[in-house]
Each structure stands twice: as structure tokens, then as C-alpha cells.
Amino acid sequence: MKFGVVTFPGSNCDHDMIDSLRNDLGQEVIELWHKEKDLSAFNTTDCIVLPGGFSYGDYLRCGAIARFSPMMQSVIEFANKGGRVIGVCNGFQVLCEAGLLPGVLLQNRHQQFICKNVYLKSENTSASLTKDVVGRPLMIPVAHGEGRYYADDATLEELFNNNQILFRYCDEFGNIIEPANPNGAIHNIAGICNKARNVFGMMPHPERATSLALGNTDGQLILQSLINNN
């Protein structure tokens, strides 16, 4: 499986993702610059990654400017053809701004930047990103100021009915409870996918939890699930 990792001005987790995929998971990685357009090296069994950070300084709104970069036009076309795309943190925000995923990411409930380990759990047996980790509480770091997922009632109903919820914040025992919600996200939602289940967005950073040197490999389980279910 081949991964393309996009770097926008202000990305600061691109090399974390590249190192995780290349060195911890042994995958082929191609680095992509936001001004490029060419994705001809990738087919629909490959994956394009939009990493975390502060694309374009978040000057307008998180992910709002990055959505119009030349590379994103190609990413949208790639996703619409069935290619897999994953956005982490700021990448999730970009995917929502681009209309590839529904909903928005709002300022955290307490209006403070959060950087800590949290627990999340998946009950989604259909998405390749989660198939191998269903039902297991995973400890994954978060680092965001605007990670509170929100969608209107009709969109939420559709997300649940179509099994598009990837992850929800939980406690260390897997209980999905409000005290385990770090940012006030509606229904504790930490990640979602599109109806076709080829576009994935999540606020926590799995690439920061793929090495024994960091004392946590729970993130490796998530990324490996994506690879295993190619």
C-alpha cells in the first residue's frame, strides 16, 4: 500500500505521519506539496493523508484556505473516484471544509487548547480504518483548539443510520461518557467517515502513538487496520 502525505503551509505533523508510516509500519510514503496537483502515482487502493497542524495559520477558519489549494482539488477528485483519504486533526477540518465529510469542527468547549492522551473506541465493523480495533479502548493523543465536532440533527441521524461514526471518546474502560469527552464534541464523536467509507476524519493523532520509544503503540493498531483491510 502506498501513502501520499500532503504538506500545507503550517502543517506541523506531516513528518510525524511520514515517520510513523514509513519507519514504524514499513509503508511506502510519497511526500506531496500543497501546490502540486499530480496524483497519478496513486491508485484507489492507496491512501492520501492530510496531516495535523495549522494550515495557512488558520487565519480565516481551520482548514478553510487549505481546501482551495491545488493539491486539494486533486484529492477531491481522487476521493470521488473511490481513493482512500484520511485527515487527522487539521486534516479532518480540511475534509469538512472541502465537503468530503459532513459537519464542522468548532472551538473546544472550554475555549482552551487541549494536548493530552485520551481514550477512544470504535463500534464500526464496516470501515477499513476501524475493523481491527472494534470494541477496544485505545489511548491516543489529542492536540487541538478547535476539535469539537458538531452537526445538525438531520446529519447526525444520517451518520448513525449509515454507520459513519468511526470513533467516540470514552474512558479507559470503554465507557462512552461525558466526563471522557475532552472538547465537548456532540455525542462524544472523535471521528467519522463518508457514506462510501473511503474518506476518514479523526481529531486524535494515531501517528503519535506508533512507537515503543514513545510508550504507546495503540495508534499503530488503527493505521495497521487501514493497511490490513486494503
Residues annotated as catalytic are: 89, 205, 207
User: DSSP class of residue 107?
Assistant: P
Dihedral angle over CA of 60, 68, 87, 159, nearest 10 = 90
Distances (CA, A) of 197 to 43, 127, 166: 16, 6, 10
Contact between 57 and 10 (Cβ < 8 Å): yes
Contact between 84 and 78 (Cβ < 8 Å): no
Closest CA to 50 of 86, 77, 79: 86
Query: Which grid coordinates are listed for 8?
Result: 500545507
Contact between 53 and 63 (Cβ < 8 Å): no
> Which residues lie across from 72 on neighbouring strands?
none
Closest CA to 145 of 58, 67, 228: 58
Query: Which grid coordinates are listed for 198?
Result: 473511503
